[in-house]
Structure 1
Amino acid sequence: MRNTQRYRVKEANSLWQIYKTVPFWKVVKNFIIIQLARYTPFLGVKNWLYRTFLRMEVGHETAFALMVMLDIMFPEKISVGKNSVIGYNTTILAHEYLIKEYRLGSVVIGNEVMIGANSTILPGVSIGDGAIVSAGTLVHKDVPAGTFVGGNPMQVIYTKEEMENRNNQDNLLDHE
Structure 2
Amino acid sequence: MGRNTTRHAVKEANSLWQVYKTVPFFKVAKNFVVIQLARYTPFLSFKNWLYRTFLRMEVGDKAAVALMVMMDVMFPEKISIGKNSVIGYNTTILAHEYLIKEYRLGDVIIGDNVMIGANSTILPGVTIGDGAIVSASTLVNKDVPAGAFVGGNPMQVIRTKEQMQNEKDGLL
Instruction: With the length of structure 2 as denominator, give the TM-score of the two structures.
Output: 0.97
CA drift of 1:164 comes to: 1.2
- Give the letter aligned to residue 100 of structure 2: I
Task: Confirm whether residue 124 of structure 1 aligns to residue 156 of structure 2.
Answer: no
Tell me the secondary structure at the aligned position of residue 149 of structure 1.
strand
Structure ID, larger Rg:
1
1:152 counterpart = 2:157: no
State the match for 1:88 in structure 2. Answer: 89
Does the alignment pair 1:44 with 2:45? yes
Report the equivalent of 1:9.
10
Distance in 2 between residues matched to 1:93 and 1:159, nearest whole Å: 25
1:14-29 correspondence runs (5 A): 14-29=15-30
Structure 1 residue 165 displacement after superposition: 1.9
AA in 2 matched with 1:101? E
3-state SS of paired residue (1:118): coil
Q: Hey, what's the Cα distance between the residues in 1 that align with 2:68 and 2:163?
A: 32
RMSD across aligned positions (CA) = 0.6
> Residue type of the partner of 1:74?
F
Match of 2:139 in 1: 138
Moved more, 156-165 or 53-62: 156-165
Q: Which amino acid in the other structure matches residue 90 of structure 2?
A: N
* TM-score for the superposition, normalised by structure 1: 0.95
Name the counterpart of 2:78.
77
Q: SS state of the match for residue 79, structure 1?
A: strand
Q: What is the identity, as a one-letter code, of the residue corresponding to 1:110?
A: G
Partner deviation per Cα, 1:70-118 (whole Å, 9 max, x = no partner)? 0000000000100000000000000000000000000000000000000
The one-letter code matched in structure 2 to 1:60 is D
**How many residue pairs get matched?**
169
Partner of 2:166: 165
- Which letter maps to 2:12? E
Deviation at 1:166, TM superposition (A): 2.6
Shift of 1:163: 1.2
Using the aligned pairs only, state the percent identity. Answer: 80
Aligned to 1:174: none
Matched, 1:111 2:109: no
Q: Which amino acid aligns with 1:114?
A: M
Deviation for aligned residue 1:145: 0.1
Q: Deviations over 1:28-83 (max 9, x none)?
A: 00000000000000000000000000000000000000000000000000001000
